[in-house]
Structure 1
Amino acid sequence: MSQPPKTSSSSFHIAMFPWFAIGHITPYIHLANELASRGHRITLLVPNKARLQLQHLVLHADLIVFSPVAVPHVHGLPEGTEIASEIPIHMTHLLATAMDRTRGEIEQFLTVSKLDFVLYDTAQWVPGIARRNGIKTVCYNVVCAAALAIALVPARNVPKDRPITEEELREAPAGYPSKNVVLCGAEAKALTFISLPYGEGITFYERTTTAMKECDVLSIRTCRELEGDLCDYMEAQYKKPVILTGPVLGLGSDKKSEKLEERWEKWFSGFEAGSVVFCAFGTQWILEKEQFQELVLGFELTGLPFFVALKPPSGCATIEEALPNGFEERVKGRGVVFGGWVQQTAILSHKSVGCFVNHCGFGSMWESLMTDNQIVLVPHLGDQILNTKLLVKELKVAVEVEREENGWLSKDSLRKAIKSVMDKDSEVGVMVKKNHAKWVETLSSPGFMSGYIDRFVQKLKEIVN
């Protein structure tokens, strides 16, 4: 690893060590760009595969450098695994073990580098190393405050020898301010993963709460307008400052929109404004073939033009071999199902797109809120379920696709949810569009985004002075 020199007294040198997942590393890079635009130097400690995939997002190459982390092989992981999108979700705990085994490499970097701060999220052992080297630590969480407040407060005693019960998850923590996000049934069951192993000899709950207990400052990628009460709750629970960065989308007013790939620009431009349904479920969710087919048939049933970006389902090497019989012929000219990477933000900003069907990962949640598109949500696990509750129950800016009791998503339920927001005479569609417009106005108002970053930097200065 390289060791950049310490910056001048008026600026910081900050190291960032996010969880080895594209959905976590990307917002760290966006934050790095904002900090670098204010003169601060950033070293991103990430696997090399993540660097190769995301280095194009860096806007200030003179102040932001990558220091690739060598990810060791862990038995049970495919050879060469470095980031979460390369493996199914059930193997993620092994990747956590691999991250922990980079500790020696990270410790060497933190020891020889002249740093002011290190930002991290899931590596709960970072604060101990940083303290020995006089470095302040910021536990920067890129999930919603609701997810942290409901499941990851120190007062919640999650036993090691059994999963959390549904009753335990249904109860809002003492002092928790919002009752609309309380879970039940299958939703509560989906969150029991927090009591499962996440690395060697440690659960997800223990790892995450320790990471937040041991830092100097807690930080969350959210805004007070959206989750102010929850952030106050976190501050009271952890008895330390909670500073917010705002959404940090890398979409500041001074940055031009990413240009969409020519073939897709031509395709989208063939439809009326606001008519296309766009669907994307993130980098990790791999559907079973039957569920995949059911969903694409649901898009067909809407009668609307659609562009679906999903990974090939389990057991299929390509999207084409997974499609239902006759599907391609029936939707030719109005529907695309694509198995590769797409420019999500560029697609969402295209004038022909009118609806975004997504899994409500925190990045997609913010991107949903920042566009004029109608929002249809299909959460899969963990914080996605809580993000969905926030948008559907609290803000009333989206609708959720109803699942059957066994968790199955039917083509009719998907069609119904999409039509409920896309039909012009739908009361639900009018209501969520009106509420959404208010949030777009707030989030895009002059100085809103930059103000959060300015206050974040000011808080960092107060901590070191």
Structure 2
Amino acid sequence: MATTKVAGEEAERFRVFFIPFFVPSHMKPMAEIACEFAARGVDSTMVVTPANADFIRPIVEQAARAGHPVHILHYPFPSAEVGLPEGIENLTTVDPAEEGKIYQAVDAVQEAHGRVLRDNRPDAVVADVPYWWATDVARELGIPRLTFLPVGTFPLVVMSSLSRHKPYAGLTDGENRPFVVPGIPDSLEMVKSELPNFLRVRDAHAENADKIRKAQLECFGVVLNTFYEVEPAYADQFRREECRDGYYVGPTSMWPRQEVLEKKVAGKAGECKAWLYEQKPASVVYVGFGSFNHFSKQQHWEMARGLEASGRPFLWALKEKASAGGGADWLPEGFEERVRGRGLVIRGWVPQVEILSHRATGAFVTHLGWNSLLEGAAAGVPMITWPLAYEQFINERLVVGKLRVGARMWEGHRSSLPEEAARVVVPAEAIAAVVSRFAAPGEADEEVEAMRKRARELAAMARAAVSDGGSSWKDMDRLIDDLKAFRSNGVVVSST
């Protein structure tokens, strides 16, 4: 099982390797951080399996066009070992019934990661949170290991409290009365059915939780795709309790330089923008649910009927998947013809950041994956929340309850476990009622207009964070300086 060394390195270059987990929602922000490192003079290398290189290559190529090259170093995905076909290497391409095999691959690549690091000996490594062994390998090599966390400090502090205190322990599976999460800056209520998956079932994350936490506490520090101003009390608590140091360097989607952004309009991006330019300002509801969440065909029919009945212009990023019940009748008969002009359905990938930042976009129906949450916040767009799994129900408490820039799509029973969630279909009437509220400015109700004002203020904070002298700009500088200081003398000289 051979790996390839990065050739031609100059001794004086500061070399950092980045190793993401097998899902685009981790690969994308880590690649954006690697590109920003490169823009600041660091020799950055993304370490990925061959098929996953395709997911980051556009980001890396954009950085190269701007004069900030990032290497891509391949290592083999353990396809035969985990029983997956060649080329199926992440959670977006695997059949949902075989998602567990992607998590099995995490442990199976431990040896390959060790070989890559020992053969190439970078000056530092940023390894994704499941790769607990990277802390031990880095210690052996005498280099800093940073843990990459793809979510913010608000959900992380809440999940840490839930894991430690288990305030839900006395509740049966069917008992869904609210309980208070202890030991956090705010009063926050949860229900058992909306807890993160790993707190409800013994999955791969739960099996390795102790090792992951130990590695996070012992490593050099943690780098997160967030910005301090969006969750300051939680950012402070996270630094105090969950790591040696925390570096908040997001929103990573805002780091690409302008010369890079100007290269991105092509293909579907052009189609979406051409349609959006025909719509009134802040009138379009954008519907997008991330890179690998899939609804049943029945729920998609209700979504279609609800969007049609809402009377609002909409752009819907639709992911059809046969294993989720897709097929020729994925949408109600005649739906696309009836909404033509008012609604645009795009199948597969869409340029989400560009859609959200367009002047015509006025609301975002989202599952609240952390990347999507930050992209919506950065665009200053209010959110209609439809969490599905993981920490997304906690993120909803931030968006709706604390930041007050969103509204819930459904007030009925919800669950973080797919088999339970599938039993509840959100009806078209409920979807239409919520979406219809998000009319163009001057036509929406008072509460929606207030959300829009707060969303614009949040976007201004995000822009300031990644601008010269902003909190994320300074944390990015501090992170690189701390890593270089460690190489020079084995100590960190900067402070938070």
TM-score, normalised relative to structure 2: 0.84
Per the alignment, residue 238 of structure 1 pairs with 242
1:69 and 2:75 aligned: yes
Q: Distance in 2 between matches of 1:163 and 1:43?
A: 47
Structure-2 separation of matches of 1:223 and 1:105: 33
Farther off after superposition, 72-81 or 141-150: 72-81
Change (3 A) 1:52 1:364: same
- 1:83 counterpart SS class: coil
Say if 2:293 is the partner of 1:291.
Answer: no
Find the counterpart in structure 1 of residue 46 from structure 2: 44
Tell me if structure 1 keeps the 8 A contact 2:17–2:125: yes
For the residue of structure 2 that corresponds to 1:20, the secondary structure is coil
Letter in 2 for 1:350: H
Identity %: 23
Query: How many correspondences in the alignment?
Result: 457
- Following superposition, the deviation at residue 274 of structure 1 comes to 2.1
2:338 maps to 330
Residues 84 and 275 of structure 1, relative CA distance in 2, 3 Å threshold: same
Distance 1:387 1:305 in 2: 26
1:254 to 2:271 alignment: no
The residue number in structure 2 matching 1:26 is 28
CA distance in 1, matches of 2:123, 2:161: 28
Contact 2:381–2:456, Cα closer than 8 Å, also in 1: no
Residue from 436, 445, 448 that aligns with 1:419: 436
Matched residues in 2 for 1:106 and 1:185: separation?
A: 37
Partners of 1:391 and 1:426 in 2: how far apart?
19
Q: Is the contact made by 1:12 and 1:40 (CA closer than 8 Å) also made in structure 2? A: yes
Matches within 5 A, 1:180-191: 180=188, 182-188=189-195, 190-191=196-197
Partners of 2:400 and 2:407 within 8 A in 1 = yes
Match of 2:356 among 337, 348, 361: 348
Q: Contact conserved, 2:281 with 2:359, CA < 8 A, in 1? A: yes
Q: Is the 8 A contact 1:170 1:183 kept in 2?
A: yes
- Write the mapping of 1:216-227 to structure 2, written as runs, cut at 5 A: 216-227=220-231
Contact 1:372-1:436 within 8 A present in 2 as well: yes
Per the TM alignment, residue 28 of structure 1 is displaced from its structure 2 partner at its CA by: 0.6
Residue 442 of structure 1 and its aligned partner are, at CA, apart by 1.6
Aligned to 2:412: 404
Quote the residue 2:461 is aligned against.
442
Contact 1:163 1:195 in 2 (8 A): no
User: Contact conserved, 1:260 with 1:347, CA < 8 A, in 2?
Assistant: no
For each residue in 1:31-75, what CA deviation from the matched residue of structure 2 results, as whole angstroms up to 9, or x when unmatched? 011100111011111122221232111144464111122111244
For residue 186 of structure 2, what is the amino acid of its counterpart? S
**What per-residue deviation string (whole Å, max 9, x for no partner) do you get for residues 145-193 of structure 1?**
12221223697178xx99997899944243x21223x3124323x5455
Q: Does 1:86 align with 2:93?
A: yes
Tell me: CA distance 1:49–1:194, structure 2 relative to 1, closer, same or farther (3 Å): farther
Tell me the amino acid that sits aligned with residue 342 of structure 1: V
Alignment-derived partner of residue 105 in structure 2: 98
Q: 1:101 to 1:185 in 2, by over 3 A?
A: closer
Correspondence 1:331-410 to 2 at 5 A? 331-405=339-413, 407-410=424-427
CA distance in 1, matches of 2:180, 2:480: 36
1:459 aligns with 2:488: no
State the Cα deviation string for residues 294-318 of structure 1 (Å, max 9, x = none).
1111111111221211211555786
Unaligned runs of 5+ in 2: 415-423, 490-496
Report if the CA contact (8 A) 1:198-1:207 is conserved: no
Query: Greater shift after overlay, 28-37 or 110-119?
Result: 110-119
- Give the match for residue 2 of structure 1: 4
Matched with 1:120 is 127
Distance 1:252 1:54, change over 3 A: closer
Greater CA deviation, 375-384 or 268-277? 268-277
Q: Does 1:172 align with 2:194?
A: no
SS at match of 2:329: helix
User: CA contact under 8 A between 2:302 and 2:427: conserved in structure 1?
Assistant: yes
Report the AA paired with residue 393 of structure 2.
I
Which residue is 2:142 aligned to? Answer: 134
Runs of 4+ in 1 over 6 A off after TM superposition: 161-169
* Aligned position for 2:286: 278
Q: Tell me, in whole angstroms, the C-alpha distance in 2 between the residues paired with 1:68 and 1:251.
A: 25
User: Distance in 2 between the 1:66 and 1:392 partners?
Assistant: 39
Counterpart contact for 1:88–1:284, Cα < 8 Å: no
Aligned to 1:428: 447
Question: How far has the Cα of 1:330 moved from its partner?
Answer: 1.9
Cα distance in 1 for partners of 2:324, 2:244 equals: 48
- Structure 1 range deviating more: 298-307 or 417-426: 417-426
CA distance, structure 1, for counterparts of residue 149 and residue 85 of structure 2: 28
Tell whether the 8 Å contact from 1:7 to 1:41 is kept in structure 2 after alignment.
no
Question: Does the Cα contact within 8 Å between 1:143 and 1:221 map onto a contact in 2?
Answer: yes
Q: One-letter code of the match for 1:366?
A: L
- Counterpart of 2:420 in structure 1 is none
Stretches of structure 1 lacking an aligned partner (at least 5 in a row): none
The one-letter code matched in structure 2 to 1:458 is D
Whole-angstrom CA distance in 1 between matches of 2:448 and 2:344: 24
Mean CA deviation greater in 26-35 or 374-383? 374-383
Deviations 1:179-220 (A, max 9, x none): 23x3124323x5455652217xx6263454244234221222
Shift of 1:133: 1.4
For 2:178 and 2:53, how far apart are their aligned partners in 1?
37
Query: Which deviations, in whole Å up to 9, do the C-alpha atoms of 1:353-409 show, x marking residues without a partner?
Result: 222211111111111011133321211111222222111111101112114226432
Report which stretch shifted further, 57-66 or 277-286: 57-66
Give me the whole-angstrom Cα distance separating, in 1, the residues matched to 2:163 and 2:290.
32
Q: How does 1:288-327 map to 2 (within 5 A)?
A: 288-313=296-321, 315=323, 320-327=328-335
The 2-side partners of 1:251 and 1:276 are apart by 26
The DSSP-based 3-state class of the residue aligned with 1:119 is strand
Residues 89 and 150 of structure 1, relative CA distance in 2, 3 Å threshold: farther
Q: Aligned equivalents of 1:346 and 1:318: distance in 2?
A: 27
* CA distance in 2 between partners of 1:27 and 1:21 (Å): 11
Q: State the distance in 2 between where 1:155 and 1:317 align.
A: 35
2:418 maps to which residue? none
Aligned equivalents of 2:48 and 2:216: distance in 1?
Answer: 20
Cα distance change of structure 1 residues 207 and 308 upon mapping to structure 2, 3 Å threshold = farther
